[in-house]
Structure 1
Amino acid sequence: MCGSTRERPTRGRSTAARRCTRGPTGWPTPGATARTSTSTSTTTPAGLRCATPTGSPPRSAGAAAPPRARRRTRTSSSPDRYAAAVEQGLVLRVATFNIRNGLALDWLNSWWFRRGAAVTAIRSLGADVLGLQEVYEFQRGYLVRKLPGLRWHGQGRGGGRSGEQCPVAVSGGFLTVLEHRTRWYGETPDVPGTRLPDASFPRVATLLRLRDQRTTREFAVVNTHLDERHPANRAASVRQLVGWLDPAVPAVVMGDFNAVPDDGDVMGPLLEAGFRPAPVTGGTVHRFTGTATGRRIDHILAGPQWTIEEAGVERGRPDGKLPSDHWPVRATLRL
């Protein structure tokens, strides 16, 4: 607002410019209705907005300020977005990615050389829910720092931060985590370190129950890494996993199964429960060769309530580097 009408030397500036104050510099909130004003204003190229309406006489010293025109209240379009989400149903982007454990002696393919590429690969997936495997705590800490928009859940094989993890990362925004837990395959699934007979290591599953704030729909996500050496343990793990799920709750199961799609002992219990694999082609493990001809052992399976709209294997090389010895798998689902 202009503070005085006392004339001063202009020094090349117009009277209108002297009566102007710098306008707001912030951008409008995305999705919000643009704020308008009923008063006439003049905006200069420098971003100045004149507070006195064009053509009005200057106000004398001591005179009461005229009442300001009431500005319209901003209105958010969030209800419109939520209404659209309810109409089209819950659309969820999920992905699974074995990032290769950071203690492996892979020389130039070691974690320290490829961790930046792993972050770029994860970002490019654009997943709402992401399941990772072979994650040690120091790897998780790096990802937490580099991917601040994600919320991480899951314990290590030994409980807490000990051992390899199968964490689930949830993108901030429209998903609320109602419950999360880590379970171990074996006779005592809630006891950290439990393992199946002859298993080299304990194997875990990270289970989440989530609610979509836009549609209020609830669903479950399971991320796991099955035994790589003993087929009987893989089959027993899947049978136990299916038993943990509530058939009434839509679920997504993903991870490194160490089993190909036609392995009936591993895939059979899930298929019998109504799960369907996301349709992808080519291999997912390449042992740092970068080929697409390896075995397909990384899977996403959706329960019968879901529609699988799209799926694929991401075979990119960020900055010319392989982010892991596995390719990530992604899928878009509708509930």
Structure 2
Amino acid sequence: MISRRLFVAALAVTTWRPKVLHAASPAPASDGELVIATYNLRYAGDLSPNAWPDRRPRVKALLDRYQPDLLGTQEGLYQQLREIAADQPAYDWIGLGRDGGSRGEFMAIFYRPDRLEPLEYDHFWLSDTPEVVASSTWGNGVRRMVTWARFRDRATGREFYFWNTHLDHEVQLAREKAAELIRRRIAALPPDIPLFLVGDFNAVATANRAYDILAKESGLTDTWFAARERRNEDVNSFTGFGPLRHEGQRIDWILARGAVEVRATEAVTFRPGDQWPSDHLPIVAWVRLSP
């Protein structure tokens, strides 16, 4: 039975119908493989053509195409998440607003219950008082948090953790302190259970102290570099709804700990109707938990 610690939003499950992947994306997941993703959705606050009602069908088309088993989202507001869930009835989701309850942005975790069974989940805030809802103590004007869950893979019986976060976009000290807090909390978990840490870290991979703390000093591996195949490896993961830039500045990461094989990873440049679904690119990884 799932341990319900704070809040969960769950929606109906229907039959999942596979759809064709984009020609430039890796082959569909093989038996025992998991497709995991991180995606900053961009909150609902822009004008057309980037207003949420315009972007909603683009997000749907992207998720239909890539069909992740597990997706960590950032910036989504409660109504946005409800609409995504309505568009993707094969998913359930876990989340709590960073301002408490349904208020503020969520670090939501969408998962396919036909494949994954949630065993426990919780949330904490990136501050000196992480158990205090909506706390912020490091000079950042925006509250930051982690939502995490432990899952059992119904296909293999393996258990693993999935952590989802969004570090501050302005204050480097807050990013570093958040990374240290996450590092300490991950270190306290059973080391034999694999773990994924995903999110928008607002820090360029390999070029920021927060990355060093998490990807070099925490026993975590960046799946981007561990992958046997990388797609669109020179693109920036933040577009700002503008032209795609080829500087290799990836601020959205999927890190892993434990016996995890990474077949492929991709910075998704799919643009339905030649319009971006969000101001970030989703990062997708095709992984397998080793026996």
Q: TM-score, normalised by structure 1?
A: 0.70
Q: Is 1:254 the equivalent of 2:202?
A: no
**Secondary structure class of the residue paired with 1:108:** coil
Q: Is 1:97 the equivalent of 2:39?
A: yes
**Secondary structure class of the residue paired with 2:242:** coil
Amino acid at match of 1:253: L
Out of 183, 195, 207, the residue aligned to residue 148 of structure 2 is: 207
> Which residue is 1:334 aligned to?
288
Amino acid at match of 1:187: D
Task: Give the percent of matched residue pairs that are identical in Structure 1 and Structure 2.
Answer: 30
> Which residue is 1:303 aligned to?
257
Flag the 1:284–1:261 CA change in 2: closer, same or farther, 3 A: same
Q: How many residues align?
A: 247
Moved over 6 A (4+): none
Q: Which runs of 5+ in 2 are unaligned?
A: 1-29, 225-229
**Secondary structure class of the residue paired with 1:178:** strand
Native 8 Å contact 2:163 2:197 kept in 1? yes
> Which residue is 1:318 aligned to?
272
Distance 1:304 1:191 in 2: 30
Native 8 Å contact 1:89 1:215 kept in 2? no
Native 8 Å contact 2:138 2:173 kept in 1? no
> Which residue is 2:246 aligned to?
293
Deviations 1:248-281 (A, max 9, x none): 3210011100001113411122222221112251
Native 8 Å contact 1:95 1:125 kept in 2? no
Out of 166, 175, 184, the residue aligned to residue 234 of structure 1 is: 175
Out of 108, 127, 138, the residue aligned to residue 197 of structure 1 is: 138
> Which residue is 1:148 aligned to?
89
Distance 2:152 2:70 in 1: 12
Distance 1:89 1:149 in 2: 19
Distance 1:264 1:193 in 2: 26
Q: Which has the higher contact order (CA 8 A, sep 6+)?
A: 2
Out of 240, 258, 278, the residue aligned to residue 223 of structure 2 is: 278
Distance 2:265 2:160 in 1: 19
**Secondary structure class of the residue paired with 1:140:** helix
- Larger-gyration structure (1/2): 1
Native 8 Å contact 1:136 1:163 kept in 2? yes
> Which residue is 1:119 aligned to?
60
Distance 1:99 1:175 in 2: 23
Deviation, structure 1 residue 292: 3.7
Deviations 1:208-242 (A, max 9, x none): 10011232211000111100001111111111112
**Secondary structure class of the residue paired with 2:79:** helix
Flag the 1:137–1:322 CA change in 2: closer, same or farther, 3 A: same
Out of 111, 121, 143, the residue aligned to residue 180 of structure 1 is: 121
Deviation, structure 1 residue 325: 0.8
Deviation, structure 1 residue 89: 8.5
Q: TM-score, normalised by structure 2?
A: 0.81
Deviations 1:46-67 (A, max 9, x none): xxxxxxxxxxxxxxxxxxxxxx
Out of 69, 87, 92, the residue aligned to residue 128 of structure 1 is: 69
Deviations 1:160-209 (A, max 9, x none): 11100110000121211001111111122122111132111110111010
The more displaced of 148-157 and 116-125 is 116-125
**Secondary structure class of the residue paired with 2:273:** helix
Distance 1:315 1:331 in 2: 14
Distance 1:234 1:179 in 2: 26
Flag the 1:241–1:214 CA change in 2: closer, same or farther, 3 A: same
Native 8 Å contact 1:154 1:180 kept in 2? no
> Which residue is 2:15 aligned to?
none
Deviations 1:125-149 (A, max 9, x none): 2111001111001101111111111
Note the aligned Cα RMSD (angstroms).
1.7
Amino acid at match of 2:240: R
Native 8 Å contact 1:166 1:223 kept in 2? yes
Q: Map 1:44-83 onto structure 2 (within 5 A).
A: none
